[in-house]
Structure 1
Amino acid sequence: MEHIFTLLFYIFIGVTFINVTFYIFYWIFAFAKISNTNRSSLPSVSVIICAKNESANLQKNIPKILSQDYPEFEIILINDASSDDTEDIMEAFKLANTNVQQVNVVNNETFWGNKKYALTLGIKRAQHKHMLFTDADCVPASNHWLQHMASSFSEEKEIVLGYGAYEKIKGSWINKLIRFETLITALQYFSWAKAGRPYMGVGRNLAYTSDVFYEQKGFINHIKIQSGDDDLFVNEASTRKNTAIQFSPESFTISTPKKTFASWITQKRRHISTAVHYKFLEKSLLALFYISQCLFLVGAIALLVNQCNWQWVALIIGVRYLCAWITVGCSAARLQEKDLTYLYPIYEITLVCVQMSIFICNLFTKPTRWK
């Protein structure tokens, strides 16, 4: 038995080394500088919003997009076969504003309930080459949102990855867990993009040109996968040269988070189901990071419970959490999520367990609709 725990101890050292290496790599974003906004060369922009049964959110949030401090932009509102008053609300905005266009999508047998089909119709309606995507339940963090996101475009940069934050709800544990997961996801995709290996973005705050969209033939390569209008498209279309990141606090969008654990799990099951379709390298590295987290936690508990080299184990755990806390803390400060750093180890352990349960559930059943 002693030999088994000695072997486990050395495996634990190796796993921790891998995990710490990831966190040190993520310093590439944690200490990155925010790009300055260049107001002298702002392109005309089409803001595209696809909504399904979102009448209340549209009424609340569209006025804040219309009030953006930006020289020339239009808003494309896509009604994805809604059953509430979404179509009427969109039509009212269109009648009251010359820069608002409306697209009504009728379900058909081939693309029933497919958000990518609805988005494609909206993109085809867009008058401007530069397109900025968000959701109906998202609100810009400032009236300079458009400026900051669009200023990241250039002749070379045709995809811009932004941060989609979630509203803070005081005293809500599930809210902090949702925001922590969002923070870690952003830390990863911003870091890899900064390193020249962009692999995903979030549709709550994502921009790209129509040239990129048509070069990729739209969403055709993954049209039948329910999710992925954002991350799978970026995974396919982004390169070291054509992708920029924007994380100025004024460039954020803020979304309404899920209020219950069950509804959040349903949402995450849909999102996680797309990861298996990423390119091999990115998929492998993401899996390695997650596996190193799991094995670190399992190894730490097993070794401490059995008091195997517990002084060294405690020291290794301390070094690992110091590196991780620096990375997560600095990233949280950049993304206006400082309150998530205080109980970081608890959030991490909870999130690892939640993700494991989602992976297991997705092995047996798959999400079928985007809403």
Structure 2
Amino acid sequence: MDLDAYVLAHHADWARLERLLKQHRLSGAEADELVERYQQVATHLSVLRSAAPDPTLVAHLSSLLARARNRSVGTRVGTWDGVRRFLVDRFPAALYRLRWWWIGTMAANVVVTAVMMWWLLDHPAVEQGLLSPDDVDQLVNNDFEGYYSQYAASHFAAQVWVNNAWVTALCLGLGILGLPLVKVLFDNIANLAIIGSVMIRHDRGELFWGLILPHGLLELTAVFVAGGVGFRLFWSWVEPGDRSRSQAVAREGRTAATVALGLVLVLLVSGLIEAFVTPSGLPTFARVGIGLLAEAAFLTYVFVLGRAAYLRGETGDIDDALLEDRVASQG
């Protein structure tokens, strides 16, 4: 393709789009023209990329399209309707679409934790190699229960939220590397298994489960969701399917960002339960019941709201309108 001739033929279209972007206010007809010019220039960019990928020209048109995209949809996505759509459509749809990845991660972790606890209980000598008798006595009689009441509830909720958000961020951030994610998850459940086996061996099992389950069900579910999404991100570049490897990784990366943002809210709920319910004076059955209700609410959110959104075509990826147009072209 003759690049100079192509530029000469379409330069007026690009200049017109730029003039529209410089106007402070647009009439209805001009707003419609902005959208049409945006689509037109997107097609031109696609043609140039496939036939004559001049870096300077591609960068200029990409910048022009980004400004046009922000001008045409920026006000819409910043409204409360965007928040509602995220909570009702994008986030639950992402959870539902990737359900088998995080359910599989959850099942594997639960099984490994159970096996580790059983093995540790059957091999008490291992406990002596991990903790001194004084450490065990301190953990069983003071530290474990005292951990949930050593700070003011509001401060503790913030501390727990930040800590759990960091763990989920590690799961999502390290997911694309594969093996580091396995280590993060293993370290998380190994700590749980060791403490649980020590508490159960010293007849404090009821206290252990009574303090772990109220917040732990939702909290660990959030971690396993992050782990499952991280594994899906890793698999997207191992086996990209019918997309290019970069497209597959980009799609799952954007979905991972959606999940990360949504899990901030999930972890906020689990943090509030851990700060205000777990150490409360409520009977054990009531505290555990609250934890079960929170977990049931999350699963209902995924498999009712998420399934409905997924069937409507939502995937958890961002809107097509916010992505750079990729128009098929023939050279």
> Which band: TM-score by shorter chain?
under 0.3
Which one has the bigger strand percentage? 1
Return the TM-score normalized by structure 2.
0.23
Return the TM-score normalized by structure 1.
0.21
